[in-house]
Structure 1
Amino acid sequence: MTSRNWVKLFFNTLVLGALVTIIVGFIVRWNEFAPLFADFNILEILSVMLWLIGVGMIFSLLSQAGFFAYLTVHRFGLGIFRSAKLWNAVQVILLAFVLFDLIYLRYDAFAKEGESILRYVLPALVILAVGLIVAFLKMKQTNKEAFIPALFFIVVATILEWVPVLRVNEESWFFLMLFPLLACNAYQLLVLHKLNQKSQEERKRFQERKAATAQSLKTKKQKGN
């Protein structure tokens, strides 16, 4: 990927994280922020928005760090197992293990006596559903081999990036962090191959211009002689 496209990916993901956090933030904490709108307190509303933008950008940076970490891990996995099918099988096992931990460990740590496990299963199902949708879209845009890696990244990377809030188990932060992470992870995954293709085309045009310039200079030199 060219540096220009990398910068474009970075800032687009940063903006996406901020926008999603603003929307989710006002929804999940509406009881807290509703009086500001009722009183039409513009300064306080703007102050809250700026705070949410900052938080969203932090979530976006965490998502981007996770994304590039996974790209590295994916390359190592392919190199170690020397087979895409075997590496995909390992990813499926790890994915199932992480989903089980997300449900069981949270239920064991935070569930009150008599509380249904369904509350702890639903977030895992939401992440899995988003992962399946994004993986399907990635597969349709590229090839069928991309399905498992895409599903693994959306599910496992999102959960690992989500760990700081999972430990606290604060409900408002629980959703405030989850949806920006899902949005940023999905965006990066779905746009990566497009930016790589665009980068290849830009390099090709650059090489063509370079060759044309060199040929032009060579022609002028020959005419001068």
Structure 2
Amino acid sequence: MNTKNWVKFFLRTLFIGGIVTIVTGFIVQWEKYEVFFTNFDMIEILSIAVWLMGVGFIFAVLSQMGFFAYLTLHRIGLGIFRSYWNSVQWVLIAFVLFDLVYFRYRAFAEDQDPLWPYVLVAVLIFSAGLVVAYLKSLQSDRRTFIPALFFMVVVTVVEWVPVLRVNDTDWLYLMIFPLFICNAYQLLTLPKFLQKSKEERIRVQRKKEVKA
């Protein structure tokens, strides 16, 4: 990817993270912010929106770091495990989902608390990951399904860990939606930016050949 398209890729992901966090923040904490909308206090609303956007930018940057880290990890995994890499990814997906349920329940559940809310979180993340992975496989080929699912489940949960350790419900929602959407956006749009970069390199090369 050339520099111009990388900057576009970065800025669009950043913008998506900021917007999604603003929307999520107002929805999650509507009871807290409702009074500002009722009183048409635009200064307060805008200040909250700016703060939420800044938080969203941080989530987006974290998402991008995770994405490029996974691209490196994927190449290393292919080099080490070769044809077994897909199986390894399935094991890691299962392990992370189990940990997401088991360790959160052990750490934060009160006496007599049901297990199903913790299971539900893992099921929803896995289900959403399946949808994105399916779209990715339609976009390219079936071989991308498991890597895409691994990224959407394992990497998203790893990126989510700082808030998972605190277990604040508002922050759990506030972080997971921007992370997941930014991850999905990067996964599904990277080929387009790579193709644009390739076409631009070809055009530049042709111009050089004409001048020569």
TM-score, length-normalised on structure 1?
0.93
C-alpha separation in 2, matches of 1:82 and 1:107: 35
1:213 Cα shift? 1.0
1:20 Cα shift? 0.3
> Greater relative contact order: 1 or 2 (C-alpha under 8 angstroms, separation 6 or more)?
2
Residues 44-63 of structure 1, C-alpha deviations (whole Å, 9 max, x = no match): 11110000000000000000
C-alpha separation in 2, matches of 1:76 and 1:211: 37
Structure 1 runs of 4+ with >3 Å offset: none
Aligned to 2:38: 38
Judge which range, 203-212 or 48-57, deviates more. Answer: 203-212
Aligned to 2:172: 174
C-alpha separation in 1, matches of 2:131 and 2:82: 28
C-alpha separation in 1, matches of 2:41 and 2:82: 60
- What is the aligned-residue identity percentage? 58
Aligned to 1:217: none
Aligned pair 1:200/2:204, yes or no? no
Matched ranges for 1:11-160 at <5 A: 11-83=11-83, 86-160=84-158
Segments of 5+ residues of structure 1 without an aligned counterpart are 215-225
C-alpha separation in 2, matches of 1:113 and 1:106: 14
C-alpha separation in 1, matches of 2:205 and 2:130: 39
C-alpha separation in 1, matches of 2:204 and 2:136: 29
Identify which of 158, 161, 169 aligns with 2:159: 161
C-alpha separation in 1, matches of 2:5 and 2:120: 37
1:82 Cα shift? 2.7
Aligned to 1:223: none
Amino acid at match of 1:202: E
Judge which range, 193-202 or 166-175, deviates more. Answer: 193-202
Structure with higher Rg: it is 1
Number of aligned residue pairs: 212
Aligned to 1:6: 6
Amino acid at match of 1:127: I
Residues 168-200 of structure 1, C-alpha deviations (whole Å, 9 max, x = no match): 000000100000000000000000111111211
1:102 Cα shift? 0.2
